[in-house]
Structure 1
C-alpha cells in the first residue's frame, strides 16, 4: 500500500530545516523537497505536521500546504494506475507537480548565486571556520568568472562551463591541481545541496567527466624516531616553542585535527586517564583514543588542561623552528602542477611540516606498526580503506620492510 509521510532533513538542528515528502509505493521510495522549512521545535514528529503554537501563528496555513502536497502525491499515484501506467519516481514527480501547479503558488526562482550566498550564511551556524573560508573562496572565484566572462546559473553548469572554468583557475590564477580540485568539489557540493532542495534540475555536474581533479601531494610524515627527537629537545628557554611542540606531539599521538587537539579539555580525559573522548569539530563524530605515554606525560605537565594554541598559521611558522632544532633537515624533492606546468623543488624536511603532519604521522606510524586499518580509520574518520591508504605516507622501502614480516615472504 502506498503511503506518504513528511520528514525533516535535519531533525536535530536549532535552525530552520527543509521538509521532505517521502512516498513509499510498490517497494520503491520517492523523495521530494516541499520547499518548506521549519524549526524542529515547532514540528510534531507523530502527526508529521507543525504544532499548534502561538509562537508559530501561521501553522494552519502551513499544515494546509502539506495536506495539499500529500493529496497531490496520492492523486498522482492513482492517476498513473488508472491510466494503466506503471509508476516510477520520474513520472510521479511530473504528475505531482502537475497536481500542485493549480493549487500552490510557485515560489520565486532562486538563482545559483543567491543560493550560495544563503547557504554560506546558514553554514556559519554548523560548519567550521575552515569550511566557511573554502566556501567563500570558491564563491569569490565564481563571481570573478561571471563578471569577466558570462553569467552562471543552475542551467548553465555544463561540461563546456567545467572545461572553461578549469582553464580560468589553472591558467589565470596559477592554482595547483589539488586547489582547483577543491574548488570543483565545493561547486559540486553546492549543486548537490541545491538539487536536494528542489532548486536545481540540471544534473550535468554528476557526469563522470565533470570530475574533481586530484594529484598525489608530496606531503611528509614524521617517524617514531623523529618524534622522539622532537620530544627530547630542551625548549625551556622558549615557552612559545615548547607550547607548540607539546601541542603538536598530542596531535601526532592522537590523530586529531588541529581544530580538535587544541581544544582538549579535562572532561575529555576519561577511563581513569587512559582514553581521550571527543566529538570532532569537522565531522561531528565521537571518537575514543587510547592515551599514548607521550600524551599522558604532556597532559600531566599541564594538569590535563593544555595551553591555549596560537592560530594555525602562527603555529605552522613556530613548528618549522621546532622541527629544525630537532635536526630534521634531510632534503626532500617535491613536485606540484601549477598553471598546467609541473614545478619541482628541493626543500629541507622541516619546511614541509605543518600541524596537519601530526594527523598524517599518526595514521602512517600506526599502519607501519601493523595496527589494522579499520582500527585506525575509527579514529581518523576515513570512510573507505582506499581513501585511508591514499592518506598515509609509506615509502617503497618502508612498504618492502613491512612485507618482509608477512607469511608469504617467509
Structure 2
C-alpha cells in the first residue's frame, strides 16, 4: 500500500549530445524510483562549468549565477506542480508532473470522467436496479485509489493488467466496517466485470488504446442455486403465523413460487396485468422490469387463491397494485423469520421463489425446459439450464419408468 511518495529533483547535462563544447540541460524528476527526463530546451550549458556532483553550474560569473537561479525557479515550479496534483487528489507520477510542468493540454480521460460518462449514458439504457450496482463498484474503485495510489483519480492510460489484478486483491482483502459480509469470489468478479464493461466503453470511445483486460482471466465459480423442496414449500404454505406482515410476505413468496415472478416484478404487478386467456382462465401478462421482455404466465390454482385473497386489500388498491408495497430488505428479513418458524435451515431469500418455480414446481413435474424458459422471460435457453436441477423425486420417477420399460 502506498501511503507516501519519494519525490526528488536534480539537474544534469547530456554530454553525449555535446556540440561545440556545450550540452543540453535536463531536469530529472524521480517519484518512487520512477524517473523521467525533461529537456530544458532553451538552455545549452558549457560542459566545462558543469558540476555533475552538485547538479549545478560552478563559478561566480553573472551568467553562471543566472543559470543557477533559473535552476531554482525550475525546482520551485516542479515542487508546486507536485503540490497542485496532491491538493486536487490526482494521480502523482512522473508523467503527470511532466505534463503539468510543460503546460500540456490535458485530455480529461481519467477513470472518474469515464465513470461519470458511463453513468450519464447508461442511465438511459439500464434500470436503476442494475445501475446502482455500478455506483457500488465505483465507490470501491475510489477507496482502492486512495489506499494504493494516495489519489482520488487516475489517468485511463495508467490502467493495465497490474491495476486490475491489484483491484481484485483489494476487493478480496477488503473488510467492511458495517454489518456487511466480506465479498466472496463471485462478488469480487461482479465488480471486476463492471470495471471491464467501463473500460470497454473507453476503448470504443478511443479514450484508451490498450485493453487492460487483454490478458486477465475472470474466475467465476459455479454456484449451487438453492430452491425449496416440495416438503419445505408445503411447510411454508400451511404454516399459521398469526402476524400480518409475515402472512403477507409468505403469500407474496408462495405466489412467486407458482408464477416464477421476481421480487421487483411481483411488486409492480397491477390488476390490469391479470387477463383472461384463450382458454378462459386467468393469466399474467406483463414485462420483466430487468429486461423488458414480455412474460405470459398461466395462473395455477394456488396462485389464483392468493390473488383472490388480496383483491380487496386496501393498501394494495391504494397503490394500484396486486400486493401491498414492501421493501426488498424487509421482505428478505421477514423470510428469514418465516424459514426459522418452519424449521427450514436454508438461507431463504425472495429470489429462491423463482428458483423453486423453475425446479420443484415445473421442471420436476415434467414441464419442458423451453416452456419454463418462456415463462421466466429468459432470452437464452442456457440461462434456464442453470435452474434445471435433477431433484431426487424426479430422478426416482424417471428410473421407475425405465425399470417398467426394461421389464
- TM-score, normalising length: structure 2: 0.62
Q: Is the 2:286–2:296 contact (alpha carbons within 8 Å) kept by the matching residues of 1?
A: yes
Do structure 1's residue 360 and structure 2's residue 360 form an aligned pair? no
Q: Is the 2:109–2:155 contact (alpha carbons within 8 Å) kept by the matching residues of 1?
A: no
Moved over 4 A (4+): 106-109, 392-395, 405-410
Distance 2:373 2:208 in 1: 35
Do structure 1's residue 307 and structure 2's residue 307 form an aligned pair? no
Distance 2:401 2:385 in 1: 18
Contiguous gaps of at least 5 residues in structure 2? 1-104, 176-181, 313-320
Q: Is the 1:182–1:212 contact (alpha carbons within 8 Å) kept by the matching residues of 2?
A: no
- Equivalent of 2:258 in 243, 253, 267: 253
Describe the SS at the equivalent of 2:297: strand
CA shift at 1:219, angstroms? 4.2
Distance 2:186 2:394 in 1: 25
Q: Quick one: structure 1 residues 406 and 144, their matched pair in 2 at CA, closer, same or farther if it must change by over 3 Å?
A: farther
Contiguous gaps of at least 5 residues in structure 1? 1-105, 330-347
Q: Quick one: structure 1 residues 293 and 115, their matched pair in 2 at CA, closer, same or farther if it must change by over 3 Å?
A: same
Do structure 1's residue 223 and structure 2's residue 229 form an aligned pair? yes
Bigger Cα Rg: 2
Q: Is the 1:360–1:392 contact (alpha carbons within 8 Å) kept by the matching residues of 2?
A: no
**Deviation string, structure 1 residues 198-230 (Cα, Å, up to 9, x no partner):** 44432342x3x5233322335421123332322
Distance 2:339 2:400 in 1: 31
Distance 2:301 2:272 in 1: 19
Q: Is the 1:244–1:309 contact (alpha carbons within 8 Å) kept by the matching residues of 2?
A: no
Do structure 1's residue 373 and structure 2's residue 369 form an aligned pair? yes
Match of 1:158? 160
Describe the SS at the equivalent of 1:149: helix
- Equivalent of 2:220 in 189, 194, 214: 214
Q: Quick one: structure 1 residues 201 and 269, their matched pair in 2 at CA, closer, same or farther if it must change by over 3 Å?
A: farther
Q: Is the 1:220–1:393 contact (alpha carbons within 8 Å) kept by the matching residues of 2?
A: no
> Alignment length, in residue pairs?
280
Do structure 1's residue 318 and structure 2's residue 313 form an aligned pair? no
Distance 1:153 1:393 in 2: 46
Q: Which has the higher contact order (CA 8 A, sep 6+)?
A: 1
Distance 1:285 1:381 in 2: 6
Q: Quick one: structure 1 residues 166 and 107, their matched pair in 2 at CA, closer, same or farther if it must change by over 3 Å?
A: closer
Q: Is the 2:109–2:207 contact (alpha carbons within 8 Å) kept by the matching residues of 1?
A: yes
How does 1:7-406 map onto structure 2 within 5 Å?
108-150=107-149, 152-173=154-175, 174-205=182-213, 207=214, 209-235=215-241, 237-272=242-277, 274-303=282-311, 305-325=321-341, 327-329=342-344, 348-349=345-346, 352-365=347-360, 366-394=362-390, 397=392, 400-401=395-396, 403-404=398-399
Q: Quick one: structure 1 residues 110 and 153, their matched pair in 2 at CA, closer, same or farther if it must change by over 3 Å?
A: closer
Distance 1:371 1:198 in 2: 48
